[in-house]
Structure 1
Amino acid sequence: MAAASSPLPTTALSPAGIAGFLLDIHERSNELGYHELHRFTLQRLAAVFPFDAGLLAMGTIQNGVPHGHDVVLHNKTPEFMESWEEIKHEDKVALQAFGNPGKTANVDIEGPIFDGCDRAREHCRKWGLAHVLCTSMISSAAGLYWVASVYRSDQTKPFSEEERQAMEIVVPHIFSAARRAHLGQLRTQAHIRDAHGQAGAIANESGLVLEAEPGFVDLLRTGWPGWTGPLLPSDLASELPTKPSVRLVREPVVVRADKSGGFVLLHARRSVAADRLTAREHEIAEAFSLGETHREIGARLGVSPNTVRRHLANIYEKLGIASKAELDRMISGLT
């Protein structure tokens, strides 16, 4: 009988080691805040393959020009980004990464990539960047980009091809976990308990989308064919500055926007029959579903109990239902 083969050793760069990293960041995305998760991710990634510093950056693409709105640094001070702003037009690493989204660039700063770009190379030397791994991700439909870079300062220790491949594998997961953490944090602040069956996004109060789940774009395009980000459709964006919560039905999609933590939290889902109720009908149906009597609803709304009964009869007919239990199920699915 042949001897059983020994299990392959688990190293940080082995499939098991990379899988462990991915499990860690996805699981921690449910408990850590947005920026806490970014910091945890960069620290945890350094255990998969070593690096001296790094960054995670997110932004929008408007008229073909990237505009950053969030950068998290690992082992670098804010002055690092101020220095980069002065030479960003010469940053060939960023140009290479943006030109090949999803592909990780492995760059030697002293190599030919910065020939003729002396200021950019000097910036790298000043800040101890000898070797760089850089990966970008772009959503043309949403008008968003994400960039992850890690750096080594020792010229004699370049990144290996295995490390480059590992970076390419993990970066989409890093930003997916960060998106989940940010949405979860804002949902908690907005007291939204269940977002199952909906696609989320985050915008500012001007209607500029800052982050979006992939399904959000697809759903929004069912109501606004041909929409591309990062600016929300004008009829939705125009509602945001004046109201803490907005619900807009644009068949066959429903979008709800709630102010939360200085942002606007958006949820999109496919419409259901109950979405065809008027605002007054929806208010009465929700109150009745929550247990209020005809008399209580009427007193609160300034109408008679008989008027409430007539509204409920119209609601039942419009929804094609015959019981309060059916109404409860329909109303509970609305946001």
Structure 2
Amino acid sequence: MEDDALLLRIYQAARVHAVNDFQRAVVALLRTRLSFVSMMWGSGLVTPDRSEVVPTALYIEGMSDDFLRRWVDEVAGSDPVIPILARAPECAHVIDVKQVYRQYPRLVEFGREFGIESYVLIGGPGLEHEHMSWLSLYGGDPKTRPADAELRWLEALMPHLCEAWKINTAIHSPRQRSNPSSFALADGATARLLSSDDAFKIFLIDEWADFDGRIVPRHLARTWFQQDEVLFDGRGVRFHAKRVRNLVYLSASPIARLSGELSPRLRQVASMYSKGLSHKEIAQRIGISPATVRNQIAATYAQLRIHTKIELLERMVDGGG
């Protein structure tokens, strides 16, 4: 998208604000471009058949706590739009409640109770491995459909909202504070840092003394910026670069051994999973449910800041697993 000034405000808000304050600031920015009455921003674990999402983080505005409680209890496990979203999360879907839910009268009644006749739904990567995030912008009359240009704008923005939420959670959630990381945003064409915390610059200087504080070293830019996503281990720092259109999101964290990062149970599950056992096989061996195994593997990926089983196997080997 072309609105780089808006993106910088979002990423800077992610670094500065506590989690709820960050989400509140983002919603205020959305309201400058889109019309909606209320909203939900969530992340959750997607079931293997892509038919259900188990919410793990939710933020609402313009709705009561009763709405949130009932949505979790009555809607989240049976919402027919979840498979639609899972198949094409990057598309902004305009949902006419009476039309889409016509075979689900209980859900139509739920929408009527809370004044939801239509809403815009879009998804993206979740906060953790195997998770999905979504944004629901609730409106009134379905005849007041957003313009196509507004939907395309939201589609271009959503990947950045997902990345910014991850940054914000990594910096400000209590669980993440013990695992220090730093973040930066760079121009994909010029390698110039657009936004960066001091720790990220220190990490770069520690690894490459010729870093001038403004431009990512040329040999790194060639490696990092020409691919959609790159993980790179320096002498003592792991760098992660993810390109989203013309911007590159960068993070850096100290490389630590596995044994000091995971609890005994997570380490046990990670060891079995890295050796090829399925969720069901692991569950049978240690006496827990496959769903618990999925959640523990997701927690392991998030804690180690990895994305694939190959990375997990490498960390198990490095850590003596």
Q: TM-score range by the shorter chain?
A: 0.5 to 0.7
State the 1:120 CA deviation: 1.0
* d(CA) in 2 for partners of 1:254, 1:23: 41
> Match for residue 185 of structure 1?
172
Query: Please, what TM-score do these two structures have when normalized by structure 2?
Result: 0.56
* Shift in alpha-carbon separation, 1:180–1:115, aligned structure 2, 3 A: same
* Shift in alpha-carbon separation, 1:93–1:20, aligned structure 2, 3 A: farther
Secondary structure of 1:217's counterpart equals coil
Paired residues in the alignment total: 213
CA contact (8 A) 1:21 1:48 kept: no
Query: Please, what TM-score do these two structures have when normalized by structure 1?
Result: 0.54
1:155-211 Cα deviation digits (max 9, x unpaired): 44222212221221111111110110111225984383747543589x996643358
* Shift in alpha-carbon separation, 1:110–1:213, aligned structure 2, 3 A: farther
- The 5 Å alignment of 1:141-290 reads 142-186=129-173, 189-190=177-178, 192=180, 194=199, 196=203, 197-198=237-238, 207=266, 208=296, 209=298, 212=302, 216-218=306-308, 221-224=310-313, 250-251=317-318
State the 1:138 CA deviation: 4.6
CA contact (8 A) 1:87 1:119 kept: no
* d(CA) in 1 for partners of 2:179, 2:147: 46
* d(CA) in 1 for partners of 2:94, 2:31: 16
* Shift in alpha-carbon separation, 1:89–1:73, aligned structure 2, 3 A: same
> Match for residue 59 of structure 1?
44
> Match for residue 231 of structure 1?
none
* d(CA) in 2 for partners of 1:183, 1:108: 35
Q: Which moved more, 1:57-66 or 1:68-77?
A: 57-66
- The 5 Å alignment of 1:109-128 reads 109-111=97-99, 113-128=100-115
Q: Which moved more, 1:150-159 or 1:181-190?
A: 181-190
1:77 aligns with 2:64: yes
Secondary structure of 1:30's counterpart equals helix
CA contact (8 A) 1:132 1:149 kept: yes
- The 5 Å alignment of 1:19-58 reads 19-58=4-43
Which amino acid is the alignment partner of residue 174 of structure 1?
L
* d(CA) in 1 for partners of 2:47, 2:142: 37
State the 1:63 CA deviation: 4.4
* Shift in alpha-carbon separation, 1:117–1:138, aligned structure 2, 3 A: same
> Match for residue 292 of structure 1?
none
* d(CA) in 2 for partners of 1:46, 1:89: 29
* Shift in alpha-carbon separation, 1:160–1:214, aligned structure 2, 3 A: farther
* d(CA) in 2 for partners of 1:156, 1:180: 37
Structure 1, unaligned runs of 5 or more: 1-14, 226-247, 256-335
State the 1:89 CA deviation: 4.8
* Shift in alpha-carbon separation, 1:98–1:213, aligned structure 2, 3 A: farther
* Shift in alpha-carbon separation, 1:56–1:216, aligned structure 2, 3 A: same
1:242-294 Cα deviation digits (max 9, x unpaired): xxxxxx7623x899xxxxxxxxxxxxxxxxxxxxxxxxxxxxxxxxxxxxxxx
RMSD of the alignment, in Å? 3.5
